[in-house]
Chain A
Amino acid sequence: AQSVTQLDSQVPVFEEAPVELRCNYSSSVSVYLFWYVQYPNQGLQLLLKYLSGSTLVESINGFEAEFNKSQTSFHLRKPSVHISDTAEYFCAVSEQGGSEKLVFGKGTKLTVNP
């Protein structure tokens, strides 16, 4: 079975500051890793995912995440945040070669203040 831990439930930052949202996972098998974002009154949207290859993956809006197998982590970073990045961010995993169900963390609410 897999589990995902997002230690920070809320992260407040000022606009243009860097941010890191932490995600650690536990699994006895290899996994795929995902970050989803939920803007107010909307569904969860895929931000980026790691399947294989380069451990650094990027999204189109400037976020990046790095898969670290030894640390079992997949932290999400952005060097300079914007007010519009205010949302809840969910880290999730699914099994490689197994069930397609997603196992989620509790989410981190990012609030970007002016």
Chain B
Amino acid sequence: EPEVTQTPSHQVTQMGQEVILRCVPISNHLYFYWYRQILGQKVEFLVSFYNNEISEKSEIFDDQFSVERPDGSNFTLKIRSTKLEDSAMYFCASSLEGVGADTQYFGPGTRLTVL
């Protein structure tokens, strides 16, 4: 069964450093998402992406964040200058149709620790 993969599984970085989290969505999916979960809190939507453009972003997704689909398979989340409060589990997801009724398929997550 096709699945979403994410690398690395755990990333440790120093405050102020740039990090890139990588995701490989399911191959025929067209809509891509990033969510995050700070320890003990809810899973929160960050951004959705379709046709090489951001289709929606949350208040969390400020100028420090960017997303890119650099090739036909990868989908990345970049944090330019990490803060302590960016420490969280980051989940990538993809879907075929990009409507509310469609199933989003999630990767296993990348745990980001900012020291």
Q: Using a CB–CB distance below 8 Å, which chain A residues touch chain B?
A: 4, 31-32, 36, 41-46, 49, 51, 90, 92, 94-107
Contacts and interface: CB of A to CB of B under 8 A. Distances in A.
Contacts of A104: 35, 42-44
Contact of A100 (B6, B44, B98, B106): B98
B12 to A, nearest CB: 18
B31 interface: yes
Nearest to A92: B43
Given A99-B56, A101-B45, A43 B100 contact: no
Q: How large is the interface on B (under 10, 10 to 19, 20 to 34, 35 or more residues)?
A: 20 to 34
Contact of B31 (A90, A100, A105): A100
B100 A100 contact: yes
Contacts of B101: 32, 49, 51, 94, 96
Contact of A102 (B41, B45, B98, B107): B45
Contacts of A100: 31, 48, 56, 95, 98-100, 102, 104
Interface of B: 3-4, 6, 31, 33, 35, 40-45, 48, 56, 58, 91, 93, 95, 98-109
Nearest to A105: B42
12 contacts: A32-B100, A42-B108, A43-B91, A49-B101, A95-B100, A100-B98, A100-B104, A101-B58, A104-B35, A104-B43, A104-B44, A106-B40
A48 to B, nearest CB: 10
Given A102-B45, A103-B45, A105-B42, A94 B100 contact: yes
